[in-house]
Amino acid sequence: MTATFSADVTLAGLNERLAQHGQWLPVDGDPALLLRTLVLRNSTGPLRLGFGGWRDLLLGAQFTDGAGKLITVGGRVVKNVAGYDLTKFLVGSFGCFGTPVTLSARTYQAPVGALVVELSPQRVNVSELLISPLKPQYAMATRGAAWLGYFGDATTLDHHRATLRSLGGTLHERTVGQDDAWRASRWRFATATGAFRIAVPPARLDDLLSALPHDDWCADLAFGVVVGRLHDPAALRETAGRFGGSCVCFDDDGRPLPGAIPDHVSALLMNLKRQFDPTGVLPALPAGAS
């Protein structure tokens, strides 16, 4: 259950091809964007709960550095422990260390459909669900609603139809493609321009959401991550810090704004960048990368 593919393929195009072999790459992101863009911007979202994010799914990659050399890192199989794991180094790097050419990732059996329970946010206790037979593959929320997502084969979905009624709320049935597009429409800020990403301890997430001054956001309830439209960077950082978290803000070009990482970390990243880009032809080091 692994696949190697061009980084120039869209997420929708890849999953369409994988479906022909009964496989699926379960990762969040705009289905119309190139896989290269999704990796470099780290589009990881609520599906991380059930399947992992880019750093969990990627097994290997080929990328070109600033000198034009093709570098191969990682491998094409799950059990590969040789050398430094530079594959994950590319995730969220915004291309400052290199440009992905091919990507290798673990895949999952393609589900036949999706079931989504819509509830009020106040009725969702993710901690209890995670240790129960009703553990979802994703848990996400906006200001007025929360959604728990479940995937599986026909037998699994039949079982969920019988058990999910106990949660109350409204049960929606979707195809996998419909659910991918629906999630992407709400998690769109993860790869958007003029956006923010806040991470706080999940136990403080409710307090953070209550303190946000606007409703243009979407939250991953399991991991305490919130993405949304950028308004006041300083106020967002202060709010995130008040609840033990951090905030990265993105400009109109989709690149992190300054102020998100300490100076000593920036110095380390700059040293690494010089090794991969000695002539400075690749994009500048993101000032707010994390």
**In the prediction, which pLDDT does 40 show?**
93
Q: What is d(CA 241, CA 176) in angstroms, rounded to the nearest whole number?
A: 37
Rounded Cα distance between 206 and 221, Å, is 9
Q: E strands of the chain, at which residues?
A: 2-6, 23-24, 58-64, 70-74, 99-106, 108-109, 113-119, 138-141, 146-152, 170-174, 195-199, 217-220, 225-229, 246-249
DSSP H or E segment with residue 48: helix 48-51
CB atoms within 10 A of CB 251: 16
Name the CA dihedral angle for 91, 224, 108, 128, rounded to a multiple of 10 degrees.
Answer: 160
What distance in Å separates the CA atoms of residue 107 and residue 58, rounded to the nearest whole number?
A: 10
What distance in Å separates the CA atoms of residue 77 and residue 39, rounded to the nearest whole number?
A: 19
pTM: 0.90
Q: Residue 247 pLDDT more than 80?
A: yes
Q: Which residue has the higher pLDDT, 136 or 287?
A: 136
Full set of structural domains in the chain with CATH: 2-109 (3.30.465.10), 113-183 (3.30.70), 192-281 (3.30.70)
Provide the pLDDT confidence category of residue 289 given band limits of 50, 70 and 90.
Answer: very low
pLDDT of res. 288: 46
Phi and psi (nearest 5°) for 17? -70, -45
pLDDT at 191: 80
Q: What is the pLDDT of residue 261?
A: 66
* Residue keyed to tokens 């590969």: 80
Condensed to tens digits (0 to 9), the pLDDT of residues 149-169 reads: 999 999 999 999 999 989 999
pLDDT higher than threshold 60 for residue 196: yes
| Mean pLDDT, residues 220-248 taken together | 94
Q: Is the pLDDT of residue 259 over 80?
A: no
Q: Which residues of 157-175 are buried (b: 16+ CB within 10 A; e: fewer)?
A: beebeeebeebebebeebe
The 10s digit of each residue's pLDDT in 119-145 is 998 888 999 999 999 999 999 999 999
Dist CA 219 CA 215 (whole Å): 11
Residue 270 pLDDT class (50, 70, 90 cuts): confident
